Amino acid sequence: MEQGKVFLVGGGPGHAGLLTLKARRCLETADVIVYDRLVSPRLLNYARADAKLIYAGKDPHGDKTAQDAIDELLVRLARAGKSVVRLKGGDPFVFGRGGEEALALEQAGIPWEVVPGVTSAVSVPAYAGIPVTHRGAAAWFTVVTGHRADGLWDAPAAAACSPSVRCLAAGTDAPGVAGESKPGPKVVAQNDGTLVILMGVHNLPRIADGLIRAGRDPQTPVAVIRCGTQAGQQVVRGVLADIAERVRALGVKSPAVIVVGAVAELCDRLAWAERQPLFGRRLVAIGHTQEQAAAMADELEALGAEVLDIALERAAVVRPSDVDTLVDAVLRAGGGRRAVCFSTPLGVHLFFARWRALGLDVRRLAAAEFAAGCPEVADALQEYGVVADVVDDPPEASRDREAVPIRLKAWSQRVVRHGGRLIVEGLSDVAAGRLGVGVRDGWEWRRLYDWTCPAQADAWQRWASEGVDGVWAAGPSAWTGLILSGLAERLRLPEPDWWSSDGWSADRVAPPSGWRVAGRCGGIDECRAGEAAFVMER
């Protein structure tokens, strides 16, 4: 068996848009993806449908996956001939233990490659409006870890640091290299550039006290940025003398980045991310296809929201024989009137995907009629150059889910009355029965796919458990698919009691005690105009 390869891939600080192109290519071709807790679930949507996803997160306040176990897993998967992506938050080689994993792979003789990511040491301050270097304020910056209480901050002082960009491990200048001296607080304190501390919230009192005792001015500006680049981004400002108490009083916990230096004062003037209309919102975008869901999510992210995009095709298991039967029925339309009523956009995409796979000429559709069960289905047909002969009334015109589609009913009865054959694509025969025709009248029902639990469901559930502010679905049919797939219940998304013209729902999942929805907007256009989509107030 040919040996596989492991790619140590940086997933960035949390915002899905900060992934590199090379990292995306690795995700799209991997057999297995071993991912961390802080990785955006949107990144897992790049995985192949048959790729295996393995969670290997380290929750500082909960379950942890031992590093030795992760190293062994990567080796075992590669020896089984798999192409493996080890997806890590930030950059694998900046306090991400990527060096340890690389050494383990090297020792085992496993081919490996590192794909650098956008490190939180620079990107998180940038999203808070803090440049780590600034003319007249900081000519260099130093990155250190504050994760360990017995390392950098308690070690004896060493020689002064040179003015350069330096990453120091907790305890040694070169991680994994024996015999190096340990820099102490004085070394860092004497560096008058910007000090960026990762994983240091828990030890912040000791860090601040150590820097002051080592000679750093107690009035040095400090900013602590929690969940940078994400909806939960929170910035706490202070000085070395009081920052620990401010953070404690506000209950700020990891993940957070600490910035010490004059540049920390700039966040009050340069807080650009907080000015976006959907800043701080956690939204779910539901589309029928991966392309549609991703486009919806990109639009929301451009307005400042943190988004989880769910494509229903991920939860669909195609029934090839039923798709072929539908295609064959349309091909025989030349021998008699044939009409197809599509109930779901995904059904449309499956039909035309098979049509193209068979190399069929689109002109052979001329003898067939097409109906759309809702406007979203009509839009899907138009993507393939087909204008529906009839479209059901917009679903928001009535809240009665059992209401008979008047236009479709009249059309379908006309088809069978003239001796035609009606094929109804849908998720159940109930949809066909509501058209007012029966088997004896000449219709047949075809279900083109079943539902399953997609591999991304675990990651989606972890993301949604932190709270969801609203849902944007590609119409009620997308929401119906989410319910039938079981994902709505698993993600604890309540069924909306109303829809706007483009599918917005402002229902909030498990709102904090004492909060209520104070305002709702009519959709993406109002958000683009600068109005918040979901206004929560006490």
Going by the DSSP 8-state scheme, the letter that residue 360 receives in this structure is -
Query: Residue 400: what pLDDT?
Result: 45
3-class secondary structure, 457: helix
How does residue 183 score in pLDDT terms, banded at 50, 70 and 90?
A: low
Q: Which of 14, 12, 7 is nearest to 29 (CA)?
A: 7
E strand segments, 377-466? 390-391, 421-425, 443-446, 449-451
Gap between the terminal Cα atoms of the chain: 62
Q: What are the tens digits of pLDDT across the range 188-234?
A: 666 678 999 999 999 999 999 989 988 889 999 999 999 999 999 99
Mean pLDDT of the chain: 80
Distance CA 324, CA 322 (A): 5
Sign of the torsion formed by the C-alpha atoms of 117, 118, 119 and 124: negative
Q: Are 377 and 481 in contact (CB under 8 A)?
A: no
Query: Residue 214: what pLDDT?
Result: 85
Distance CA 189, CA 195 (A): 9
Mean pLDDT to the nearest integer, 121-134: 96
Q: How far is CA 166 from CA 12, 143, 159, 161, 271, in A?
A: 20, 6, 14, 9, 26
- 38, pLDDT greater than 90: no
User: Under 8 Å CB-to-CB from 382, ≥6 apart: which residues?
Assistant: none
Query: Residue 62: what pLDDT?
Result: 56
Distance CA 295, CA 293 (A): 5
Expressed in percent and rounded to 5, the helix, strand and coil fractions of the chain are: 35, 20, 45
Number of Cβ atoms within 10 Å of the Cβ of 537: 9
Distance CA 521, CA 534 (A): 7
Contacts 24+ apart (CB under 8 A), 440-446: 441/413, 441/416, 442/415, 442/416, 443/412, 443/416, 444/329, 446/322, 446/325, 446/326
Distance CA 246, CA 79 (A): 50
Distance CA 46, CA 52 (A): 12
Q: Are 338 and 329 in contact (CB under 8 A)?
A: yes
DSSP 46-64: GS-TT-EEEE--B-TTS-B
Query: Residue 331: what pLDDT?
Result: 85
Question: Strands of 470-473's sheet, edge to edge?
Answer: 306-311, 282-287, 470-473, 504-505
How does residue 501 score in pLDDT terms, banded at 50, 70 and 90?
A: very low
How does residue 489 score in pLDDT terms, banded at 50, 70 and 90?
A: confident
Distance CA 529, CA 295 (A): 19
Question: Strands of 52-55's sheet, edge to edge?
Answer: 52-55, 32-35, 83-88, 5-10, 112-115
Distance CA 88, CA 67 (A): 13
Q: Which of 72, 95, 94, 93 is nearest to 84 (CA)?
A: 72
Mean pLDDT to the nearest integer, 157-186: 44
Distance CA 215, CA 191 (A): 10
Q: Which residues are catalytic?
A: 36, 58, 199
What tokens does 149 get?
């209480």
Going by the DSSP 8-state scheme, the letter that residue 332 receives in this structure is G
Buried-exposed string 375-412: b where 16+ CB fall within 10 A, e elsewhere: bbbbbbbeebebebbbbbeebeeeeeeeeebeebeebb
Instruction: Please count the CA atoms within 13 angstroms of the CA of 64 that sit on its side-chain side.
Output: 8
Q: Which of 266-275, 425-434, 468-477 has the lowest mean pLDDT?
A: 425-434
Distance CA 391, CA 389 (A): 7
Number of Cβ atoms within 10 Å of the Cβ of 341: 30
Q: What are the tens digits of pLDDT across the range 55-100?
A: 998 765 556 778 899 999 999 999 999 999 999 999 999 988 999 9
How does residue 14 score in pLDDT terms, banded at 50, 70 and 90?
A: very high
Distance CA 173, CA 99 (A): 14
